[in-house]
Structure 1
Amino acid sequence: MNDYVSSAPLFHELTRDDVRAASKDALLLLPVAAVEQHGPHLPTGTDWIIVEYVARAAAAAAAQHTPIVVAPTLPFGSSDHHLPFGGTLSFNTAVYYQLLVDIVTSLHVDGFRRMFILNGHGGNHDVIQLVARDMALRHPLQIGAASYWNIAWDRLIALNAHHGQHLPGHAGGFETALMLALRPELVRLPLPSRVQMQDDDPLRAAAPFRLETHGFWQAIDGYSDNPAQGTAERGRVYLAAIVDAVTHAFLEFDKMTR
């Protein structure tokens, strides 16, 4: 599924004059990800691979209706919680926040006034929300910021993607399924297996508080649920739903910001 050709222009393939011309009207899409350990079976670039596919595929679909420019995916994220395992490249929260501020500032200087940050790593989620808020206060910009699984949440719940696993989890059944669909040659077999979990809470986003526990990731060996539950067939179904939901989100954002 990684051999598609995007019909949305890629920032890094444009000249400076192309960028200047495009910035007058186009929505700028900035995908952000992470390079970090994903258990013994998935590559460290899992989040990067998934969000880049989703971003470019959704942008290609949305570009049939409105101008979009896709910035290079920022591969590194805020992943300090995975550093104890190795196989991780991370910015701490403050540095990552400033990095995104500088990138958005650069895009503002380049002429873009409408931007959407699409995230593929849980550790980045809160930071991108703050960046969007603060940059819209400082500059005449309209910025959207979201993680792809939140955009597609209702569709994934309807597909039972929360049954017996965390959604999106980390290197569990969900992400393993996506990678088996996208880059099966990078998935190490046999997949680690755990006792089937209870269904994830479909209303988890409305939880009354957030709980963080020191040493949590080490206690679960760096992956959240049962990777053996993931299949390529499930991954293809999930990806189709995600790309469609993200495409509609781009078009809705475009309509709201014109």
Structure 2
Amino acid sequence: MNPGGSTTLLRLTELTWYEARTAGADAIALLPIGSQEQHAAHLPMGTDTLLVTAVVDRAAELLADAGPPVVRLPVLPYGHSPHHLFAAAVSLSAGTLAAVLADILRSLTESGFHRVMIVNGHGGNDEIMRLAVKEHALRTEGAFAACSYWSLGEAPENPGHAGRYETSLMLAAHPDLVRTPIEPHRPDGAPPLFNAPPHPGLTAERHGEWARVGGMTDDPSTARPDPGELSTRATELAQAIRAFAEATAPGAI
């Protein structure tokens, strides 16, 4: 059985039900999740979905022929983005996203998968997906994990939103979708609390700040294509998948 084109990567969409259930005995089900939301005037609505897809696919390529076996699910393209509705977004409520993830996790385990990893591409999903994994593990036999692609290993301190970091990755992954020229970003007033909290470790939000700063956290005009960072994110994800596989292999506990 090799519908996915490699010895380790299978795509759920291309498997029969019997192949999927058979694969679930050993493989890790890999679920990418993203969003559809404003990314200023120069990046597309699906930036988070496109970037998490690029990172997951590159990580899967790194795992090819060297394990562990992975079943790649279709990306979930909608996330929790109410803070971007001032411009445009297709947003799920926190409760809806939690329910969707709970249903997907339950479906996968009832279909024979014992190990599932969610890989996230949008900051607004992070807390919700981590809680979904923890709650599912309380109810169900198996091992479940979650991460945001930028948070693994030696991650950037703050990747921001629609600024230099995401723009640099999009210039590497999908340069044809980046609108040019990219205008400098110099919002008036103090940095927004959501991006510059007044004390380390503190989460803070002020009403209306996303709209005030135009939906960006930092200046994207200095961005340059960064295939190296894209490769680093994929390498870190591949290492995380391997570590999860080793820690949850039969006899590991």
Q: TM-score under structure 1 normalisation?
A: 0.86
**Cα shift at 1:237:** 1.3
Q: Which residue of structure 2 lines up, in the alignment, with residue 208 of structure 1? A: 201
After superposition, the C-alpha distances for 1:213-235 in whole angstroms (9 at most, x for unaligned) are: 11110011011101111111xx2
Larger mean CA deviation between 56-65 and 37-46 belongs to 56-65
Which one of 52, 72, 77 corresponds to residue 75 of structure 1? 77
Residue 111 of structure 1 corresponds to 112
**1:53 Cα deviation after fit:** 1.0
Unaligned runs of 5+ residues in structure 1 are 199-203
- What corresponds to 1:132 in structure 2? 133
1:84-141 C-alpha deviation (Å, 9 max, x unpaired): 102x111010111101101111111111010100000000000011001000001102
Give the Å deviation of 1:194. Answer: 2.7
Task: Tell me how far apart the structure 1 counterparts of residues 110 and 104 of structure 2 sit (CA, whole Å).
Answer: 10
Equivalenced residue count is: 235
Partner Cα distance (1:135, 1:207) in 2: 30
Write the distance in 2 (CA, Å) between the matches of 1:141 and 1:119. 20
Instruction: Name the aligned partner's letter for residue 221 of structure 1.
Output: G
Tell me which residue corresponds to 2:218. 225
The residue type equivalent to 1:67 in the other structure is P
- Residue in structure 2 matched with residue 19 of structure 1 by the alignment: 20
Determine helix, strand or coil for the equivalent of 2:241. helix
Tell me if the contact between 1:135 and 1:141 (Cα under 8 Å) persists in the aligned partners: no
Q: Partner of 1:191 in structure 2?
A: 182
Which secondary structure does the structure 2 equivalent of 1:209 belong to?
Answer: coil
Asked whether the 8 Å contact 1:34–1:48 carries over to 2, the reply is: yes
Q: Which one has the bigger helix percentage?
A: 1
- Could you tell me the TM-score, scaled by structure 2's length? 0.88
Note the alpha carbon deviations across 1:39-63, whole angstroms, 9 max, x for none.
Answer: 0000001000000111121122224
The amino acid of 1:168's aligned partner reads: P
186-195 vs 236-245, which moves further: 186-195
Query: 57-66 or 120-129: which moved more?
Result: 57-66
Q: Which runs of 5+ in 2 are unaligned?
A: 192-196
TM-fit CA distance, 1:195? 5.0
Q: Which one of 229, 232, 252 corresponds to residue 241 of structure 1?
A: 232
In structure 2, give the amino acid aligned to 1:223.
M
CA contact (8 A) 1:8 1:56 kept: no
CA contact 1:76–1:89 (8 Å) conserved in 2: yes
Separation in structure 2 between the aligned mates of residue 212 and residue 92 of structure 1, nearest angstrom: 18
From 167, 171, 187, the equivalent of 2:162 is 171
- Aligned partner (choices 170, 181, 203) of residue 172 of structure 2: 181
Q: Distance in 2 between matches of 1:46 and 1:208?
A: 27
Contact 2:34 2:49 in 1 (8 A): yes
Inter-partner Cα distance in structure 2 for 1:195 and 1:218: 14
The Cα RMSD (Å) is 2.0
How much identity, in percent, do the aligned residues show?
37
Give the secondary structure class of the aligned counterpart of 1:31: strand
Q: Deviations over 1:10-50 (max 9, x none)?
A: 11111111101101110111111101110000000100000
2:46 alignment partner in structure 1: 45
Cα distance in 2 for partners of 1:37, 1:121 equals 12
Q: How much has 1:82 moved relative to structure 2?
A: 0.5
Question: What is the Cα deviation at residue 240 of structure 1?
Answer: 1.2
Moved over 4 A (4+): none
- Helix, strand or coil for the counterpart of 1:228? coil
Structure 2 counterpart of 1:56: 57
- The whole-number CA distance in structure 1 between the counterparts of 2:77 and 2:42 is 20
Counterpart of 2:194? none
Instruction: Quote the residue 1:201 is aligned against.
Output: none
State the Cα distance separating 1:239 from its structure 2 match: 0.5
Q: Quick one: which amino acid aligns to residue 37 of structure 2?
A: E
